Amino acid sequence: MQVPHNPFKASLTGDTRYGCWAGFATGYAGEILATTGFDWLLIDGEHAPNTVPTILGQLQAVAAYPCAPVVRAVSHDPALIKQLLDIGTQTLMIPMVDTAEQAAQLVAATRYPPQGFRGVGGGLTRATRWGEVEDYMTTAHEELCLIVQVESRSGVDNADAIAATPGVDAVFVGPFDLSTDIGHIGNPNHPEVQAMIRHTLDATRAAGKAAGILAPVEEDAKRYADWGFDFIAVGIDISLLRQAAKETVARYKGDK
């Protein structure tokens, strides 16, 4: 058996890929989303109540569908990264990357020696399909996609070097953290934030890498698509459910 193909990595640039944030932390909800036509799903280990076993369940639940799972870790911890890769994560997103040195460390955490320092799980892991992928250790990196999040003033200042780091496949702007970091709390549309988002996009594309962003408001998502963002999360499952529930109840009970 060969290491599974990663269609998300293969299609990083080209047509804009539309995704949804998956925050319910269950395979059942993830599987529903995977059947709706989104190109990718963000299984959120940063702000949703996920653990390694709940993320595993979601990877298994969506595996049958043409909807690529992207797993976001809660930290830069190499031990956690090792576990996420071992359960079969092939597209990994890491939040709060501020420097090229951090980016290089993250790449190293995803690579076996001598390129990095990932520990060997071998036949114990879903990543190797319990040993069936015999050349996993020499081929895993080819199908692994590392996305780093730029979401602070220092990250934007260092965006060129972060994006150019070998082994970084894409940069994902976190507009809410970025706006908050620079003092425009929760206001990604402030002109200063918009200029920083545009700068990060330009730096990423100049490095030949793909750029992504979260944009749950349609007008914003369309603007970012026009700017050239390659992958955009246009929905958040929890907000979608809440909004639909509120609209439904309002139809019967009014806005009381």
Ligand X SMILES: O=C(O)C(=O)C[C@H](O)[C@@H](O)CO
SS3 243: helix
175 is a site residue for ligand X (CB under 6 A): yes
Nearer to ligand X, 47 or 242 (CB): 47
184 is catalytic: no
Residues 77-96 that bind ligand X (CB under 6 A): 95
Q: What is d(CA 59, CA 44) in angstroms, rounded to the nearest whole number?
A: 12
Catalytic residue among 5, 47, 76, 190: 47
Q: What is d(CA 196, CA 179) in angstroms, rounded to the nearest whole number?
A: 9
* Per-residue contact string for residues 195-234; x = within reach of ligand X by CB under 6 A: -------------------x--------------------
- Part in contact with ligand X (CB under 6 A); list of ranges 76-84, 117-125, 156-164, 174-182: 174-182
Rg for the chain, CA atoms, rounded: 18
- State the number of binding residues for ligand X (CB under 6 A): 10
Angle at 80 between CA 78 and CA 85, to 5 degrees: 90
Closest CB 99 distance from ligand X, rounded Å: 18
Nearer to ligand X, 29 or 140 (CB): 29
Angle at 97 between CA 95 and CA 99, to 5 degrees: 175
Q: What is d(CA 198, CA 254) in angstroms, rounded to the nearest whole number?
A: 41
Q: Which amino acid belongs to residue 179? A: S
Nearer to ligand X, 140 or 150 (CB): 150
Q: Fill in the DSSP letter of residue 143.
A: G
Residues 147-166 that bind ligand X (CB under 6 A): 149, 151
Nearer to ligand X, 136 or 224 (CB): 224
18 is a site residue for ligand X (CB under 6 A): no
* Per-residue contact string for residues 121-150; x = within reach of ligand X by CB under 6 A: ----------------------------x-
Closest CB 234 distance from ligand X, rounded Å: 13
Q: Which amino acid belongs to residue 115? A: Q
CA distances from 222 to 4, 130, 226, 227 (A): 32, 42, 6, 9
The pair of structure tokens assigned to 222 is: 């369309």
DSSP state letters, 77-110: -HHHHHHHHHTT--EEEES---SHHHHHHHHHHT
45 is a site residue for ligand X (CB under 6 A): no
Active site residues per annotation: 47
Residues of the shown chain interacting with ligand X in the complex, contacts defined by CB under 6 A: 46-47, 95, 149, 151, 174-177, 214
